[in-house]
Amino acid sequence: MKLYTFFRGSSPFRLRIALNLKGLAYESIPVHLGKNAHHRPEFGAINPQQLVPALVLDDGQVLTQSLAIMEYLEEKYPRPPLLPPDATGRARVRALALLVACEIHPLNNKRTLDYLRSGLRREEAQVMDWYRHWIADGLAKLEAMLAGTPGTAEFSHGDSPTMADCCMVPQVFNAQRYQCDTAPYPTVMRVFGECMRLDAFDRARPEKQPDAE
Amino acid sequence: MKLYTFFRGSSPFRLRIALNLKGLAYESIPVHLGKNAHHRPEFGAINPQQLVPALVLDDGQVLTQSLAIMEYLEEKYPRPPLLPPDATGRARVRALALLVACEIHPLNNKRTLDYLRSGLRREEAQVMDWYRHWIADGLAKLEAMLAGTPGTAEFSHGDSPTMADCCMVPQVFNAQRYQCDTAPYPTVMRVFGECMRLDAFDRARPEKQPDAE
């Protein structure tokens, strides 16, 4: 399998964790978002959405959208599972993953921040206020979902990592990179700490990727 | 089942379509986003994310995030299916659904537009430019994924509606409500037309809901 990735991108980071947890080998193909490599026609031919990640299967089929790819991996390589066995548990894990993927990340990704700068002509201080506003809003929601809930244990759901953790960890990396205060989210940060003790999460870190700068 | 919904909200609209397609009866409980009813403590006790939809099962368990709830419904009530039988087909449908749910809707929902107005003090004309920018960006990506692709048929994937259509239709309603030009997306609009011929989609329309204004 070939993974079109970018070391700093949050969505490819999710998928690197999932691939590592499943013990699946893949070839990294870097797409430099900072240099707009995702807008080149060669990449558009692979993913018309011009977004990373994209996973190319050995038969040449291309999968896109990190959560859809994780579901595919879960179906094809069920061990170790990244979803719990019960339907309401799976619904909870997917909701936690989607809370990050739909309510936080889209507001803070590169193209959104770029449009605040160029389209709305906002100064950098306002762009950073925007960034931190949505991190605070989203991580508070995540903390409320995790804290004091029976499903939460060593990890976001139960005692082994799930898709929820694959999505949460890259988001916390982003929060730390932009000096957001994470003190109000003690459950999120405790689970983050548990995740980062695992080799599968550690090897997926941005600075350990071949394209890291 | 009880569905916490808002007639105009895009995410509860997705779920109303899915429930109708599955032939599942539910009780609608309106949460007036315009009056900030989702921020009241009573609703926060049901969904700590303070977002609609939330689906309360007959045993009292609460499910959140529209795509997670659709996956739950698919598992518990597999007929008629909203995902195709093959793993790469399912990955494609989920990617199409996530393209709407992650790349378009979060940038255009009420709380994002509210923050542009209050946090960034943008005038209404700039807020509408923002709205139309992300609709144009996202629907162009969706068109690129659908047009000329073998998986696309009568509907976004194959000849029966899927989760992809449940997500796309509410987004097109939003585009039309804000007078976005949909001419550049002929495949999206053709599939939209096919969907709206079905009773399950028509009954889920905002103006047909008990809380419609």
**Mean pLDDT along residues A91-108:** 97
Contact A71 B49 (CB under 8 A): no
- Residues 23-82 of chain B with CB under 8 A from chain A are 44, 48-51, 57, 61, 63-65, 67-69, 71-72, 75-76
In chain B, whose CA is at the least distance from the CA of A134?
A: B112
From A58, A63, A69, A60, select the one nearest A18 (Cα to Cα). A69
CB of B132 within 8 Å of a chain A CB? The answer is no
Tokens 């009292």 sit at which residue?
A: B60
In chain B, whose CA is at the least distance from the CA of A65?
A: B95
**Mean pLDDT along residues A65-86:** 98
Please, what are the domains in chain A?
2-80 (3.40.30.10), 87-201 (1.20.1050.10)
CA distance B20 to chain A (A): 20
CA distance B87 to chain A (A): 6
pLDDT digits (tens, 9 = 90+) for B1-26: 999 999 999 999 999 999 999 999 99
CA distance B113 to chain A (A): 11
Per-position DSSP letters for B25-93, written without gaps between them? --EEEE--GGGTGGGSHHHHHH-TT--S-EEE-TTS-EEESHHHHHHHHHHH--SS-SS-SSHHHHHHH
Neighbours of A30 (CB within 10 A): 17
From B142, B204, B208, B211, select the one nearest B10 (Cα to Cα). B204
pLDDT digits (tens, 9 = 90+) for B36-67: 999 999 999 999 999 999 999 999 999 999 99
pLDDT digits (tens, 9 = 90+) for B108-139: 999 999 999 998 999 999 999 999 999 999 99
ipTM exceeding the 0.90 mark: yes
A148: pLDDT strictly greater than 90: no
Type of residue at B184: P
**Phi then psi for B65, rounded to 5 degrees?**
70, 115
Instruction: Give the pLDDT score at B148.
Output: 82
Per the model's pLDDT, the better-predicted residue between B148 and B171 turns out to be: B171
Contact A69 B88 (CB under 8 A): no
Render the burial of A179-205: b for 16+ CB within 10 Å, e for the rest: ebebeebebbbebbebbeebebbeebb
Indicate the SS3 state at residue B114: helix
Chain B residues inside the 8 Å CB shell of A101: 98, 101-102
B49, B109 contact by CB (below 8 A): no
The dihedral formed by the CA atoms of B74, B78, B79 and B85, expressed in degrees to the nearest 10: 90
User: For the CA atoms of chain B, what is the radius of gyration?
Assistant: 17
**Phi then psi for A58, rounded to 5 degrees?**
-65, -25
SS3 percent helix, strand, coil of chain A, rounded to 5, is 55, 5, 35
User: For the CA atoms of chain A, what is the radius of gyration?
Assistant: 17
CB of A83 within 8 Å of a chain B CB? The answer is no
A94, B65 contact by CB (below 8 A): yes
pTM (2 decimals)?
0.98
Type of residue at B155: F
pLDDT digits (tens, 9 = 90+) for B73-87: 999 999 999 999 999
Neighbours of A75 (CB within 10 A): 14
Rounded to an integer, what distance in angstroms lies between the CA atom of residue B156 and that of residue A170? Answer: 31
The dihedral formed by the CA atoms of B12, B17, B23 and B29, expressed in degrees to the nearest 10: 20
Chain B residues inside the 8 Å CB shell of A122: 120
Mean pLDDT, chain B, rounded, equals 97
CA distance B173 to chain A (A): 19
**Mean pLDDT along residues A8-12:** 96
- Cα–chain center distance at A144: 20
Helix (H) or strand (E) holding B184: none
Helix (H) or strand (E) holding B24: none
